[in-house]
Structure 1
């Protein structure tokens, strides 16, 4: 059914938001915009206090090559429909202005400090952002219309004029709506099958009956996860499930029910999820995993640099699964969590001894209770045939392992007779274990190359370059040693120094995964090699030479849920 397919597509719309450090404790209670956002919104992303957009743009590394992106965009064509050409034109305007902060703000009419909100009214997405120059928005849209041939309809509702650009114009119609009022730009959709009152609400002409401002949702998220209050985002799993498994449980459910009634030619495609069993069982799952929330724990920006520490948490009340995942946590050394000192690092913390038991606990929990809802019962049946207990046999040899980590600390490249290699490489690989000596002796029979390698804890390192069968032209010398509870393979003086630091690190459960990357440290040796060769530097690589950014990603489990953290530092050139 066409209308229901359209509605399902709209539900999938997602959005992000800018974020900023906290300035006022009452950012939520004093925010009038929240009175227009329903408490049952499927998603929410709100910049609750002004974000310093201009300073942020100046602090970002201008390594994005707009010219190359524009060329790729042209090669992706031809764009046959007016709608495609319309959005391509808007994207071109973005690309051609982004590298110049002043031009970007002028092109889009944005103020130097800005607020924005994204949310849904049932299935209908709404995006609001502050603008300083309304004429700039209309000029931008006029340019896209002229280049694409997509003509808008001038409409009004309750005295507010807006533009409607047709996205679908068949039996049913969907228009993208642009409206400006009191310094705010609203972008939303209007269809032939929604009520006019819904558009009034989306455009901020009518407040909702049950606004998010009357709840403690945002305050609870910030206090539970330690987020700054100025910018919060979330996806509400409970409301999404309620909308699909009920007829009138929330705004989404009522809209879908109305669509079925309007069509009258087919049965409800979500009927199988609306049985009492499915409604109860899907509801219980959603209650155990209620929301995915996003926010910042720290943030600072000026024209020289930007620093932020963001976190995404998939909330969970399932203590069995969280407890099992906690048992799997292993050790990640400090060098694998270092944002500034190394070129790139990765660490996997995993208590191998607990892997099979923990996965078995999760497997058993997912089969309890026995679902009566057909869709869930089929999933449960398929899962029942995947018993993870067999992992115990596979991981027996690695018992005691607590994690493996690697880092490229520094490097320079050379090109001898057309053979690229390392002029210098400082790197480290570390395997952390409860008893590294026992683990090494267990592995030797299966790795003949190590049979003659004799290592003592904190003793002399052994040159293992021949055993690793590294091509000589790479120019890498590797040494192996046991540093307290770590088996290490390193190269270079800095690699040795980092390996020695592991003597002071106690192996404790402190995480699941961590990755970090310094973009400039990675690219600088590559660019120097190309320059020394006399070859021209490809434009797409040259554009990244000033991309001065460091990033770190971690994944871990807490008593609140599954947490993905992103830490970044960028500096302007």
Structure 2
């Protein structure tokens, strides 16, 4: 039975790859599918307006064309026909990423398609629009031939489907992987011994749903609350998960877990299935009801793609949100500009507010007099500790608002006999109310800094003597105070960023931001590998055609904890 949970967990984890494209005028076909999704589904994600899958694959295919020889080693060595079946499917998928044309033709997809992912309790359901169903059956037939793993044809209410048993013969608990195509929609789902017979009919859209997602207003509520443009929407429902583990029949997931426990003869959630735990955990979940996600901006062509994604852990706990917001510090512009550096990272924390904020959150968690045993034990462990102890370490960093770093550019020499690092443009910055004072406080603990005198917006001080690198490396670090920022930099571009930073005033603009440009990161390494004349490392060869920029950030707003990411892909022109 553990295989049931593992299989479901793997597919559920894959839901992170499904983001939504939805507008308020979704088609009748989309509405029809939503009408077959129960409103108590714990997890939902979909593309409800046609996503340009062919163009998207063209824009990113070079990032996935190469993969290591040992990527499938474990599956290749397995004698299990199920493992070989999955290996064939995976290899077909990887090979199809050569181009958008090959991808859609391999799997019989339209050039623009809708897709859906949700769960019926524990069991995942994937639905994809199809253009040529025969292509899917051909892929499965090929996998069966290469593995020796076969299916059983079954029918429910006139709909035929393929069933692949994923458990061993003779096991009392069973799980089957199912594929069905009806009305131009491919459905991939599971059937298990602990699910009700009508669950499969619901998954195939054959059974009516009394309280459906289409009628619930959940999607419109998310869009209205978070201002999503309509390009994307999805969610993880914390309240339904809590209801499932604290009751025996509160929702579909609860009933499945109860059936699973009866088959196993042991209920792993018995400790929280009490009236006290149900009431108190439900109250917590009401304060943190959902994790929602979506696409705020989407632009895709055959040569490039741009996606702006947002994930929000919703919270109605104003005290916690206010405390987290007060901790927000300063992140420099050079970190936020994802196209101007190889790699950048900024941590914005107002250290003056760190301990008071954490203490406020800590006290809030200890205030309720919980009756639930699990919550009582948690409070008992917390009561013996206190974030106030952090004050001993943060006191010396009074006034610090953030720290950041960026590798702007780097290159190697073209000396084939003695290739070496030729130059590095980089910057590290500490932002504070009085950076000069902080530096002077540190000097007594670092004798090598004793002779350095820094003045506000003064001339940079050479630090080469502290970093005895060979001259051919071209790294000449310098230190200076620029406005509210203590900076260490190298190279002309590093110095330019330091001068720009001098004009930036301290403001609370975030908690964390990181950017990476894979093209700028990998290109010099590839050039160095080619110059050496040695075989290129496999890991590097896999990434040599990457042309992708990624930006990630963490922040707080009035709705909750916000995770933002921006992904840009560009296809390299042929011949380059």
TM-score range, shorter chain: over 0.9
Q: Counterpart in 2 of 1:199? A: 200
Per the TM alignment, residue 526 of structure 1 is displaced from its structure 2 partner at its CA by: 1.3
Q: Which moved more, 1:434-443 or 1:472-481?
A: 472-481
Q: Counterpart in 2 of 1:189? A: 190
Q: Counterpart in 2 of 1:232? A: 233
The equivalences for 1:390-405 within 5 A come to 390-405=389-404
The count of aligned residue pairs is 567
Per the TM alignment, residue 416 of structure 1 is displaced from its structure 2 partner at its CA by: 7.1
Q: Counterpart in 2 of 1:111? A: 110
Describe the SS at the equivalent of 2:172: coil
* 8 Å CA contact retained: 1:330, 1:349: yes
Runs (5+) with no aligned partner, structure 1? none
What is the CA–CA distance in structure 1 between the aligned matches of 2:65 and 2:135, rounded to whole Å? 24
What is the CA–CA distance in structure 1 between the aligned matches of 2:321 and 2:276, rounded to whole Å? 26
* 1:254-307, Cα deviation, whole Å (9 max, x unpaired): 33334455x4x8354322211111011111111111111110111110112101
Q: Does 1:422 align with 2:401?
A: no
Describe the SS at the equivalent of 1:362: helix
What is the CA–CA distance in structure 2 between the aligned matches of 1:287 and 1:144, rounded to whole Å? 46
* 8 Å CA contact retained: 2:443, 2:449: yes
Per the TM alignment, residue 63 of structure 1 is displaced from its structure 2 partner at its CA by: 3.0
1:332–1:260 Cα change, 3 Å: closer
1:428–1:164 Cα change, 3 Å: same
Describe the SS at the equivalent of 1:547: coil
TM-score, normalisation: structure 2:
0.94
The equivalences for 1:87-236 within 5 A come to 87-168=86-167, 169=169, 170-236=171-237
* 8 Å CA contact retained: 2:51, 2:114: yes
Q: Counterpart in 2 of 1:60? A: 60
Describe the SS at the equivalent of 1:219: helix
Describe the SS at the equivalent of 2:113: coil
1:310–1:231 Cα change, 3 Å: same
What is the CA–CA distance in structure 2 between the aligned matches of 1:410 and 1:207, rounded to whole Å? 59
Q: Counterpart in 1 of 2:360? A: 361
Q: Which moved more, 1:97-106 or 1:45-54?
A: 97-106
What is the CA–CA distance in structure 1 between the aligned matches of 2:470 and 2:416, rounded to whole Å? 15
1:307–1:205 Cα change, 3 Å: same
Q: Counterpart in 1 of 2:256? A: 255
Q: Counterpart in 2 of 1:433? A: 432
* 8 Å CA contact retained: 1:49, 1:231: no
Per the TM alignment, residue 504 of structure 1 is displaced from its structure 2 partner at its CA by: 1.5
Runs (5+) with no aligned partner, structure 2? none
1:469–1:373 Cα change, 3 Å: farther
1:551–1:267 Cα change, 3 Å: closer
The equivalences for 1:350-389 within 5 A come to 350-389=349-388
The equivalences for 1:451-462 within 5 A come to 451-462=450-461
1:376–1:306 Cα change, 3 Å: same
Describe the SS at the equivalent of 1:198: helix
Describe the SS at the equivalent of 2:124: strand
TM-score, normalisation: structure 1:
0.94
Describe the SS at the equivalent of 2:105: helix
1:318–1:324 Cα change, 3 Å: same
What is the CA–CA distance in structure 2 between the aligned matches of 1:288 and 1:8, rounded to whole Å? 29
1:284–1:88 Cα change, 3 Å: same
Q: Counterpart in 1 of 2:38? A: 38
Per the TM alignment, residue 123 of structure 1 is displaced from its structure 2 partner at its CA by: 1.9
What is the CA–CA distance in structure 1 between the aligned matches of 2:548 and 2:423, rounded to whole Å? 23
Per the TM alignment, residue 449 of structure 1 is displaced from its structure 2 partner at its CA by: 1.6
Q: Does 1:502 align with 2:501?
A: yes
Q: Counterpart in 2 of 1:564? A: 563
Describe the SS at the equivalent of 1:31: helix
* 1:208-237, Cα deviation, whole Å (9 max, x unpaired): 110011112111111222223243121111
What is the CA–CA distance in structure 1 between the aligned matches of 2:278 and 2:416, rounded to whole Å? 69
What is the CA–CA distance in structure 2 between the aligned matches of 1:53 and 1:64, rounded to whole Å? 15
What is the CA–CA distance in structure 1 between the aligned matches of 2:438 and 2:276, rounded to whole Å? 50
Per the TM alignment, residue 17 of structure 1 is displaced from its structure 2 partner at its CA by: 4.9
Q: Counterpart in 2 of 1:245? A: 246
Per the TM alignment, residue 470 of structure 1 is displaced from its structure 2 partner at its CA by: 4.6
What is the CA–CA distance in structure 2 between the aligned matches of 1:267 and 1:457, rounded to whole Å? 68
* 8 Å CA contact retained: 1:17, 1:117: no
1:34–1:486 Cα change, 3 Å: same
Per the TM alignment, residue 198 of structure 1 is displaced from its structure 2 partner at its CA by: 1.4
Cα RMSD, aligned residues only: 2.2
* 1:403-430, Cα deviation, whole Å (9 max, x unpaired): 0111111111138798764211111111
* 8 Å CA contact retained: 1:428, 1:491: yes
What is the CA–CA distance in structure 2 between the aligned matches of 1:520 and 1:368, rounded to whole Å? 51
What is the CA–CA distance in structure 2 between the aligned matches of 1:453 and 1:93, rounded to whole Å? 62
